Structure 1
Amino acid sequence: MSVNEQAVRAASAAHPRHPNSPATYGTAGFRAHSDTLDSTMFRVGLLAALRSKKLAGQTIGVMVTASHNPEQDNGVKLVDPHGEMLHSSWEAYATQLANAPSDEALVATLKQVVQVAEVDLSQPAKVVYGHDSRPSCRTLVRAVVDGLTALDAEQVNAGLVTTPQLHYLVRCYNTAGTPQAYGEPSVEGYYQKLATAWTTLATGRHLLPALTVDCANGVGAPKLKEFLKVVGQDLLPVITVRDNHTLAGNLNMNCGADFVKTQQCPPRNVELVPWQRYASFDGDADRIVFYYADGTGTFHLLDGDKIAGLAAGFIMDLVKDSGLGVKVGVVQTAYANGASTKYLTEVLGVPVQCVPTGVKHLHHAAESFDIGVYFEANGHGTVLFSPSTLAAINTHTPASPSAAAALANLRALVDLINQTVGDAISDMLLVEVVLLHRQWTPAQWDAAYTDYPNRLVKVLVQDRHAFTTSDAERKVDTPAGLQDKIDEAVKEVVGGRSFVRPSGTEDCVRVYAEAATRSTADELANKVAGIVHSLAGKGPKPASFF
């Protein structure tokens, strides 16, 4: 069986390639200004169909989203059968298809991918697709559908969903009817699974004051509200703010997890009540950060590093109390605060592995542990339980009533955590469970360790591909000489640490700096940013970022 060239050519003609289409399928898939993405979406539809055929008809996911990016942007990424990111070996195929300059070139590239990847076109294909709340999504989704139709793929329209819900659906479809069944393949099934687990973990405990959640004016707003109706506000009191996902221009504007993390302040026009808990989702609800204000009104961020420490400590206690002989490990990136790494290794005594930035790297590394906890500092992360650990949790015989209680909580925690990908709603519940069981205020959580002051800044560059890194992105290999200059700048700062890495989605370099005081961290960030700009910057050199 061969590619239906006529169908592909005709469909492609309706989606001509924009001259500024994205060139590379990165960690987050394709992202660009929405006006440039029509042809890319069509070609991703083709690729999703091929991927499903390659895997003998297993369901593949397509999510149209640009996460924390501004509303005018959009993007798309593929989800593999167990809810994981697209296998890295297929990223190059996505890039090749997106860059084919004409309809004829696209057909030729498609045939080449079929041949090189050894795709059996006679196999069926099934793809479930969804989108976030961006105004451009509906038009771009139609382009994806045209690509799926051109290769005769069965289609499931999930509609408006969070990114983690799409990942959940993919895994559910592929495990239905097996011993590894993940859940009911519907958004309602997702809500019910989490609600049942939360009820088990929360019933009979003294409820904490309501959590206020900034929904980034994104898809997380309606979906969180739907979930709260299922679980009940009497068992999970939550107040939503920044929850208008239909008003144009609102998405991620001065709110959301990325804004709070990078600006280190609450969302605009959200007044913090001292000592109360707050959280922010990002635009597609796969990230979350927490924060609070102390009695003087000072803002305190509880980011992905803090979440990892909280989760790892709680899970280790449950494992110990249940008598289950499994090991917990934590995976971080270079962006992890140095104080968090010290806390994990020296206080909790948990092994920590550092990997390059990107969920696919963290997820893969976490799979090597019995229970792998991973969170990027930006609040994207989850917990993975190995198959052998899941079997042990289900078959273990506790030696005492207290061990039985710990084991029951651990079993419920497995269902509470979305193991397919970072999930703002699921991770919100994970944090709330720990605080509920410990009866901790956000300040008590925060007191586990004190972050070293840090800054993250963005420097526009001529070509991000000119920057290459090694040592889990903590060292710059090219441009030549840059690392030596960074090292010199770091030596001048007490407790200094800094690294630079190219963005995966735009022509910029991100500069991270850490030091003993806020002023020296800012100074170091400015100095390294200036070094980068002088070597490869684009546009006028800023006098100072702060």
Structure 2
Amino acid sequence: MSTLPVEAIRVLADRHPKPSSLKFQYGTAGFRTLGNSLDSVMFRVGILAGLRSKKLDGKTIGVMVTASHNPEADNGVKLVDPRGEMLEAAWEGHATVLANAPSTDAFLEALEGFVKAAKIDLSKPSKVVYARDTRPSGPALVAALEDGFKALNVDARNAGVTTTPILHYLVRSINTKGTKDAYGEDSEEGYINKISTAFKKLVAGKPASPPLIIDCANGVGAKAAAEFAKVLGDALPITLVNTDTTTPGVLNHQCGADFVKTQQKLPPSLASHLKPGQRACSLDGDADRLMYFYLDERGQFHMLDGDKIAALVAAFIVELVKAAGLEEKVRVGIVQTAYANGGSTKYLTERLPVKCVPTGVKHLHHAAEHYDVGVYFEANGHGTVLFSPETQRILAEHQPSTPAQSTAITHLINIVQVINQTVGDALSDMLLVEVVLAHKSYNGYEWDSLYEDLPNRLVKVVVPDRTIFKTEDAERRLVSPPGLQARIDDLVRKYASGRAFVRPSGTEDVVRVYAEARVRAQADELAFRVAGIVYDETGADPTQRPAEFL
């Protein structure tokens, strides 16, 4: 049995000391904080990734250096497991413990304890593929990560500057290479060719789509979007906006998917590009979130968020499954969180099974795996479609009895290729949306008209201790503090189509209050009245009492 190369680790660890004042936490999005605070974390993650690979018999692990939709000064790092999925939840705690060891000696001690407890065979090989987004802090953080690889003698492949979904794709492609589950050629070019070839087949013979404007958030998605634009050509005319990846301060600034979702307005930089009736979409900084929008004939902005994307895509897949004669064999389901708009839940419930789970991609992804075809999208535009291995086998082997069935099965097989099943992928999801719009001959207005969003409002209340708030029923009801939910229920009953819930933030001492009602003014009023109850109940910070226009 090999032992840890303690001296090699010590020498390199001393170059990356942990800042004494900071505490790090590995969450759903990995480690996230200011880029200039992450040097020690990166080094330790390099070692952790190598150990994860050894634990899994030398399978390739992914490491992505990104802070996604966050401001440019932030950065972060997350690990990707062999099938392109998120790091196993149990290892999040181990990552947190190792990142917070206060000194090199304490880190080495924690490392040896962890190797022993996790029964990691150090003689196994370790392989990692890693990438980063376009943040200025990226190169220095990657250098620290590489020191971690060096300390453990990890066989590491640098995938360079690329999107988060491409890194996830590479991880699964590398690990399935040469098997019956081969996912694709393990290169950025392989990713683009796989998706674009299937897209072209799906829109063949359909009237040409009007040009699509893509807001690239001045992030790494600009690079991949430009490649898609080249390969797709006339199959989908694309106009790229916000593609500046070198000017400091512009990443995600007044543009991108998060800006569109939170501000509910057009990025200022698109004002001169978008004409009434034309559709556009925004990626986020690492291209794993997608928001669509359009201007109506009066120039009014309309947002088509993750709920609208889920409704469009899920209903189309259900239609294809029926047209293929497979509704008895292939069960399509959709997974939402409490933040999904009530209008979308009503529309979808009439068409297919809908399950609600706690907030967070890992909960959505896990629940979607229980369906033959599982669709999940968060309202923020992060989502994908999962086709189970058994469903893919059925599609490959089913003998259609009519030409219409044959066409529908072929479409489903190509949709499997268009979708990046490893993670939410803005560009892959965008092409799936474009397929549905082409097949249904919908413009933005017709898509938007599938159902009407209920007006909603999200406010936050700063509280002394968020841990006193405990929820159940997929975070839709409070069980603690006692009596608070009953007061919220009494209030909600007074509003037409009223709905409200309170949940603690996972990252800061605030609770979030979400409210819906049939009329905008009532949704606002309900949100502030529920926030007022929370404030009164908990003795929240009086300077932070929710104002009428938070």
Whether TM exceeds 0.5 here: the answer is yes
Helix, strand or coil for the counterpart of 1:158? strand
1:328 to 314, 328, 332: 332
Distance of aligned partners of 1:482 and 1:48 in 2 relative to their CA distance in 1, 3 Å threshold: farther
TM-score, normalised to structure 2's length? 0.95
5 Å-filtered alignment, 1:90-489, equals: 90-232=91-233, 234-271=234-271, 272-324=274-326, 325-346=329-350, 348=351, 350-489=352-491
Letter in 1 for 2:436: V
What's the CA shift string for 1:392-451, capped at 9, x where partnerless? 111111111121111111111110000000000000000000000111111111111101
Contact 2:528/2:546 (<8 A) preserved: no
Q: Partner residue of 2:22?
A: 21
Cα gap change, 1:320 to 1:540, in 2 (>3 Å): closer
User: Contact 1:45–1:144 (CA<8 Å) still a contact in 2?
Assistant: yes
Per-residue CA deviation, residues 115-146 of structure 1 (Å, 9 max, x unaligned), is 12111111000011111111111111111111
Q: Give distance in 1, aligned partners of 2:315 and 2:359.
A: 23
Gaps of 5+ in 2: none
Q: TM-score with structure 1 length normalisation?
A: 0.96
**Following the alignment from structure 2 to structure 1, what is the Cα–Cα distance between the partners of residues 36 and 467?**
24
CA distance in 2, matches of 1:502, 1:11: 39
The sequence identity of aligned pairs, in percent, is 59
- Whether the aligned pair in 2 keeps the contact of 1:457 and 1:545 (CA below 8 Å) is no
SS of match in other structure, 1:372:
strand
Moved more, 445-454 or 265-274: 265-274
CA contact (8 A) 2:460 2:546 kept: no
| 2-structure distance, mates of 1:527, 1:286 | 35
3-state SS of 2:420 partner: coil
Distance 1:49 1:374 in 2: 31
Counterparts in 2 of 1:2 and 1:464: CA distance versus 1, 3 Å: farther
Deviation at 1:511, TM superposition (A): 2.4
User: Could you say if the C-alpha distance between residues 44 and 395 of structure 1 is closer, same or farther in structure 2, counting changes exceeding 3 Å?
Assistant: same
SS in 2 for 1:205: coil
SS of alignment partner, residue 235 of structure 2: coil
Report the Cα distance in structure 1 between the residues aligned to 2:487 and 2:12, rounded to whole angstroms: 52
Contact kept, 8 Å, 1:201 with 1:433, in 2: the verdict is: yes
SS in 2 for 1:35: helix
Contact 2:457 2:516 in 1 (8 A): yes
CA separation of 1:404/1:273 partners in 2, compared to 1, >3 Å: closer, same or farther?
same
Would you say the 8 A contact 2:459–2:546 is kept in 1? no
1:78 is displaced (CA, Å) by: 0.6
Instruction: Give the SS at the match of 1:208.
Output: coil
Contact 2:61 2:128 in 1 (8 A): yes
TM-superposed deviation, 1:492: 3.5
The 3 A distance-change label for structure 1 pair 537 and 30 is: farther
State the Cα distance separating 1:321 from its structure 2 match: 1.2
Q: Which residues in structure 2 correspond to 1:69-108 (within 5 Å)?
A: 69-108=70-109
In 2, Cα distance between equivalents of 1:379 and 1:149: 37
* Counterpart contact for 1:526–1:545, Cα < 8 Å: no
Contact 1:202–1:433 under 8 Å retained in 2:
yes
SS at match of 2:270: coil
CA contact (8 A) 1:21 1:37 kept: no
- Give the aligned partner of residue 63 of structure 2: 62
Deviations 1:453-495, CA, capped at 9 Å, x for gaps: 1122344444544443222111234445543443344334332
Structure 1 residues 209 and 491 mapped into 2: Cα distance closer, same or farther (>3 Å)?
same
Matched with 1:543 is 547
The one-letter amino acid of 2:117's match is V
Indicate if the aligned counterparts of 2:242 and 2:269 stay in contact, CA closer than 8 A: no
Return closer, same or farther for 1:112/1:244 CA change in 2, 3 Å cut-off: same
In the alignment, structure 1 segments of 5+ residues that lack a partner are none
Greater Cα offset, 173-182 or 26-35: 26-35
Q: Tell me which moved more, 212-221 or 76-85.
A: 212-221
Q: What is the aligned partner in structure 1 of residue 514 from structure 2?
A: 512
Q: Give the 3-state SS of the residue equivalent to 1:501 in structure 2.
A: strand
CA contact (8 A) 1:197 1:415 kept: yes
Change (3 A) 1:372 1:501: same
Distance 2:530 2:40 in 1: 38
Q: Is the 8 A contact 1:291 1:302 kept in 2?
A: yes
CA distance in 1, matches of 2:96, 2:54: 19
Describe the SS at the equivalent of 1:493.
coil
Partner SS for 1:285: coil
Residue 188 of structure 1 aligns to a residue in which SS?
helix
Q: Is the 8 A contact 2:461 2:544 kept in 1?
A: no
Between the aligned partners of 1:376 and 1:126, the Cα distance in structure 2 is: 32
Answer whether contact 2:462 2:544 (CA < 8 A) is retained: no
Q: What are the superposed Cα offsets for residues 491-540 of structure 1, whole Å, 9 maximum, x if unpaired?
A: 34332212232333444433221111111112222333344455364554
The alignment status of 1:37 with 2:16, answered yes or no, reads no
- Between the aligned partners of 2:535 and 2:39, the Cα distance in structure 1 is 33
| Distance of aligned partners of 1:15 and 1:379 in 2 relative to their CA distance in 1, 3 Å threshold | same
- Report if aligned partners of 1:59, 1:128 keep a CA contact under 8 Å in 2: yes
CA separation of 1:545/1:116 partners in 2, compared to 1, >3 Å: closer, same or farther?
farther
**Aligned residue identity for 2:97:** Q
The structure-2 alpha-carbon separation of the partners of 1:70 and 1:462, relative to structure 1 and needing over 3 Å to count, comes to farther
Q: Name the SS of the counterpart of 1:243 in structure 2.
A: coil
Is 1:82–1:174's contact at 8 Å kept on the other side of the alignment? Answer: yes
In 1, are the aligned partners of 2:337 and 2:359 still within 8 Å (CA)? yes
Listed one character per residue, the Cα deviations across residues 217-262 of structure 1 (whole Å, up to 9, x for unaligned) are: 1111121112211222x11111111221221111111111111111
Between the aligned partners of 1:13 and 1:462, the Cα distance in structure 2 is: 37
Shift in CA distance, 358/490, structure 1 to aligned 2, threshold 3 Å: same
CA contact (8 A) 2:333 2:375 kept: yes
